[in-house]
Amino acid sequence: MLTMSNEAVDFLSDVDQITDVSALKDKFSRGIDQYGLSSYICSGSLRNAKRLEYQVMANALPDGFLEAFQKHAVPDNPSSELLMTSNKPFIWSQLYMTLGTSVPRFKETVAVANDFGLSDGICVPVHHPGGYVGALGMAGPVTQINKHAAYILQLMSIHFHDRLRELLDAEQNVADGPGKKRSKSRGQNGCELSPRERECVSWVAEGKTDWDIGEILGISQSTAHFHVENAKKKLDVATRVQLVVKAISKGYISV
């Protein structure tokens, strides 16, 4: 079974009911705090933004951190490329162990984070259909982020990013006036998941592959894949992790 802290379960279950940006940020902070992460930054579309300050949708970082980080920023930072090309989360310390010695000034950037009490962290890419790429970076005095924690943090991060984006879009549309058309929420196309699709998505949440799901349910791998992909289309998501996040938020599966 997929086990989570109470704060993580509360966040995934309740976040779609939150209509206030400040309340959303507070709830996310409480959720990641259970995993030793005291700070975060949530970025919008990385493909379109030219500078870091234009990307930031929300952050809870130590005073002065962004300025210090930008001062010591690494040209062609490998984390930036990973965010753009992969939908898998990556942990700072593991990335440094793999690439740190081959990237100029990467050690200096890590030292800046350490100076602010951020000994390790995790970055979560957020990819959506149409080429949109956002990201969540979380850090703190955590000593270790295991594989299970990374998966839960990925679920929470995607859900936080998407809900925050919806609330900020709504605020902007109100500020623009009644002549502007509000953005359509993702996954609000009125298509319900079938019982078989819900069943397959429940097993996706447990980390099962299409082959595993086929064996468990007594169907072919291709049929399992069809149900998973159809569920992704109905909920308008790009990845299996996003599928799980959206399915939990819509009440199709439980955790």
User: Does the structure show a pLDDT above 60 at 35?
Assistant: yes
Output the DSSP codes for 226-245.
Answer: HHHHHHHHHHT-SSHHHHHH
Q: 33: how many CB neighbours lie within 10 A of its CB?
A: 14
The domains of the chain are located at 6-176, 195-249
More confident call, 67 vs 23:
23
pTM for this predicted structure: 0.74
Q: 154: how many CB neighbours lie within 10 A of its CB?
A: 23
Are 18 and 97 contacting, i.e. CB atoms less than 8 angstroms apart? no
The pLDDT tens digits for 69-118 are 777 665 566 677 777 888 889 888 887 777 656 666 667 777 888 899 99
Are 158 and 182 contacting, i.e. CB atoms less than 8 angstroms apart? no
The pLDDT tens digits for 227-239 are 999 999 888 888 8
pLDDT classification of 178: cutoffs 50, 70, 90 = low
Pull the structure tokens for residue 127: 């990819």
Superfamily classification of domain 6-176: Transcription factor LuxR-like, autoinducer-binding domain (3.30.450.80)
Residues in Cβ contact with 81 at an 8 Å cutoff, skipping those fewer than 6 apart: none
224-228, 239-243, 247-251: which range is least confident on average? 247-251
Long-range contacts of 126-132 (CB under 8 A, 24+ apart): 126/157, 126/158, 126/161, 126/162, 126/242, 127/87, 127/238, 127/239, 127/242, 128/186, 128/237, 128/238, 128/242, 129/236, 129/237, 129/238, 131/47, 132/45, 132/47
* CATH fold of 195-249: Arc Repressor Mutant, subunit A (1.10.10)
Alpha-carbon distance 233 to 231, whole Å? 5
For residue 124, the surrounding DSSP H or E stretch is: strand 120-128
User: Does the structure show a pLDDT above 70 at 29?
Assistant: yes
49-53, 58-62, 145-149: which range is least confident on average? 49-53
Alpha-carbon distance 189 to 234, whole Å? 7
Write down the pLDDT at residue 232. Answer: 92
